[in-house]
Chain A
């Protein structure tokens, strides 16, 4: 049983109260993008064994979308955070690195 705490209402909601929204932090490529970029946006998804960022919706509760960082291998949840960010906040990354010392973000830090 996967239990995620909704960052909006603070309910520790079990999986059956939530709807999955798959991979988080996708960058949209729309009109004007190259076919390769659009294909990657449309179809290419990460499928890591380990740390993964996902979208979830608190369907049966407040109805809001939020993001979760969890491990696909152990189902350990590192944390959840509101969806109005383009990449995971620093405290979530710190929590992940405390539990998975070898793990580093695979995106470039903004300049």
Chain B
């Protein structure tokens, strides 16, 4: 089997904050609402509880994020996606749900540094002062959809793979030295 390659091959930039394209990361879109076994199914995959509205539950390299009232984002190691889907299928058998591997449809960035929030402040209409730890914020980064959350002294930004180059350009430009807010 061919090796998975992230959208920008791990591009990085050092400005007043560090931008790194990470990945590939295993991601599953899980759509379900009002399904009883959902808590257990998610726990079996990520080891976390089901995320409450606008939250992300992080457990090492796994996470469960709340995307909308009927949609969750499950993050797992890339190699474990197939097993995770099988585990979901087993736990949710007979229920009305949808789980899809979207790992290769996404690009993931890390924005790190003391002023990491400044990089994103210029790009998204988000009040970062009010953004709580463990809050997953879906918004836009300039012209494209993005999701972001604070994690380990920085932010993780997720966007569509097709706009990875555009988002890298945005982040790079926004993190230029001398352009701190």
Contact = CB atoms under 8 A, between A and B. Distances in A.
B166 to A, nearest CB: 15
A14 B126 CA distance: 9
Interface stretch (B10-18, B101-109, B134-142): B134-142
Nearest to A16: B125
Nearest to A64: B68
Specify the main secondary structure of chain A where it touches its partner.
Answer: loop
Given A10-B54, A16-B125, A17-B125, A62 B137 contact: no
Contacts of A17: 125, 139-140
Interface in A8-31: 8-14, 16-17
Contact of A11 (B54, B71, B145): B54
A17 B54 CA distance: 16
A9 B53 contact: yes
Contacts of B139: 17, 60-61
Contacts of B4: none
B140 A16 contact: yes
A60 B68 contact: no
A63 interface: yes
B138 A60 contact: yes
B67 interface: yes
Interface in B40-99: 53-54, 66-69, 71
B68 A11 contact: no
Interface in B130-178: 137-140, 145
Contacts of A8: 53, 68-69
A9 B54 contact: yes
B53 A10 contact: yes
Contacts of B140: 16-17, 60
Nearest to B67: A62
A9 B68 contact: yes
Interface string A58-77: 01111110000000000000
A13 B138 CA distance: 10
B55 to A, nearest CB: 11
B160 to A, nearest CB: 12
Nearest to A63: B68
Which 6 pairs between the two chains have the least Cβ-Cβ distance? Answer: A62-B68, A60-B140, A14-B125, A61-B138, A8-B69, A60-B145
Interface of A: 8-14, 16-17, 59-64
11 contacts: A8-B53, A8-B68, A9-B53, A10-B53, A11-B137, A11-B138, A13-B125, A17-B139, A61-B138, A62-B67, A62-B69
